């Protein structure tokens, strides 16, 4: 497993160009590009939810990580802060090197529950990363998985 530094991605046109290499791997990435374009217009650089791993000067893995304050929580019985991890992707030629795992471990370092909606055929990966099925209190159209930090292991409220 290669360990590469995880960078908070600046919201600028270079990052937008870097994301275009991911676009061809599925329509879900179009939303991420739209998110980024909207942020460029707003010039919201310090609040970027995008993180990535560069191999040399090429962005090879990325994710979107949004923090939800407990006052806006509509998923848990007992209101709490949590992270929503989405659009995790590693370019095909860079898979099986631990980049996805590195991004997940980085997200776990915030020590908050993490919710994700797994892509088709990716549940095995998420299970290996310690995620389990999650049933929110609000009906959601997609399947969700959750990871809890150790300090919440005895308080796993769905």
Q: What is the pLDDT of residues 17-73, one digit of tens each?
A: 777 776 544 445 445 556 656 655 444 456 678 899 999 888 899 998 999 999 999
The pLDDT value recorded for residue 82 is 96
Dmax over Cα atoms in the chain, in whole Å? 44
Strand partners, 59: 54
User: What is the CATH number assigned to the segment(s) 7-147?
Assistant: 3.40.630.30
The pLDDT value recorded for residue 26 is 47
Alpha helices in the chain (DSSP H): 13-23, 28-42, 99-108, 123-128
Strand partners, 65: 85
For residues 93-105, give the mean pLDDT: 92
Q: Are 89 and 104 in contact (CB under 8 A)?
A: no
- pTM for this prediction: 0.77
Strand partners, 67: 83
Q: Is 114 a residue whose pLDDT tops 70?
A: yes
């Amino acid at each position: 497993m290669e360990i590469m530094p995880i960078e908070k991605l600046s919201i600028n046109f270079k990052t937008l160009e870097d994301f275009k290499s991911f676009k061809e791997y599925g329509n879900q990435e179009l939303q991420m590009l739209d998110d980024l374009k909207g942020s460029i217009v707003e010039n919201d650089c310090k609040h970027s939810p995008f993180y990535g791993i560069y191999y040399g000067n090429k962005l090879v893995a990325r994710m979107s990580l949004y923090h939800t304050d407990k006052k806006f929580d509509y998923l848990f019985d007992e209101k709490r802060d949590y992270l929503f991890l989405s659009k995790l992707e590693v370019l095909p030629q860079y898979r099986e090197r631990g980049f996805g795992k590195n991004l997940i471990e980085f997200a776990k370092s915030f020590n908050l529950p993490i919710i994700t909606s797994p892509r088709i055929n990716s549940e095995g990966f998420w299970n290996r990363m310690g995620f389990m099925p999650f049933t929110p209190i609000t009906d959601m159209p997609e399947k969700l998985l959750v990871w809890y930090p150790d300090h919440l292991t005895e308080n796993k409220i769905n």
